[in-house]
Amino acid sequence: MSVFFRRLSLMASIRDNLSAIREEISKTSKGENVRLVAVSKTKPASDIEAAHQAGHRVFGENYINELVEKSHSLSHLSDIEWHFIGNLQKKNCPKLTTCKNLSVVETVDSVKVAQALNNGWKKNGDRPSLDVFLQVNTSKEPQKSGCLPEEVISLADFVVGECDVLQLKGVMTIGAFGYDWSLGDNPDFIELLKCHSQLKEHLNMDLEISMGMSDDFCKAIEMGSTNVRVGSRIFGARS
């Protein structure tokens, strides 16, 4: 098969995968609005263009250098929306804020990161404000990023009160991998829902819930997720 026909086949596959996932989301959400973030880490810009041609607009990346490079090479797609969903450290915030069409940073997990992101966006941002989610380490695994559940309210207060160009929009978790759903609802998702409820009451504002990936996004939606992050089900296994 020629390179041209392989490319056409891949574009058709991405289109069909997106259509199937949208249908699953529609059936599971029962009319509620759920955002699909197509996770394109390690995938070429051409795959993102194929998804864009299929009508998708929201993409997620885990690595800052890769995101910034892709955002600039695809800046002609003016309606694209980038979500950063990877580990974020204070020292890397200035580079992240040079991303074109950055819509949401889902992984703010400390005061230091929030302050650095706020300062970087003032200098480099391409719009007046930047939406952020607070990442919560609901599984309390030491190797995972995220603030602890008991730290969420104080971090939210800092973002709302001290970060003038950041807009708090929701909470996010990854949770422990490989959960056995035959045991019932994922306790890490239950913990995020508790954080979400407490934060909504504390701040008196609507907030989104970002949880669920390729293996469990339908379960997450059933539990109340409004933002799911799906990669391999759209673009295929990563090399």
CB-based contact 37:82 (threshold 8 Å): no
At position 109, the amino acid (one-letter code) is D
* Per-residue pLDDT reduced to its tens digit, 121-173: 999 999 999 999 999 999 998 888 999 999 999 999 999 999 999 999 999 99
Q: Which residue's entry shows tokens 């995101």?
A: 67
For the chain, how long is the longest CA-to-CA vector?
Answer: 59
What confidence category does residue 1 fall into, taking pLDDT thresholds of 50, 70 and 90? low
**What is residue 2's predicted lDDT score, i.e. its pLDDT?**
64
pTM of the model: 0.95
pLDDT reading at 105 higher than 70: yes
* Per-residue pLDDT reduced to its tens digit, 20-31: 999 999 999 988
Structure token pair of residue 209: 């819930």
Average confidence score pLDDT of the chain: 95
**Planar angle of CA 168, 173, 177, nearest 5 degrees:** 170
**What is residue 231's predicted lDDT score, i.e. its pLDDT?**
96
pLDDT reading at 104 higher than 90: yes
* Per-residue pLDDT reduced to its tens digit, 216-230: 999 999 999 999 999
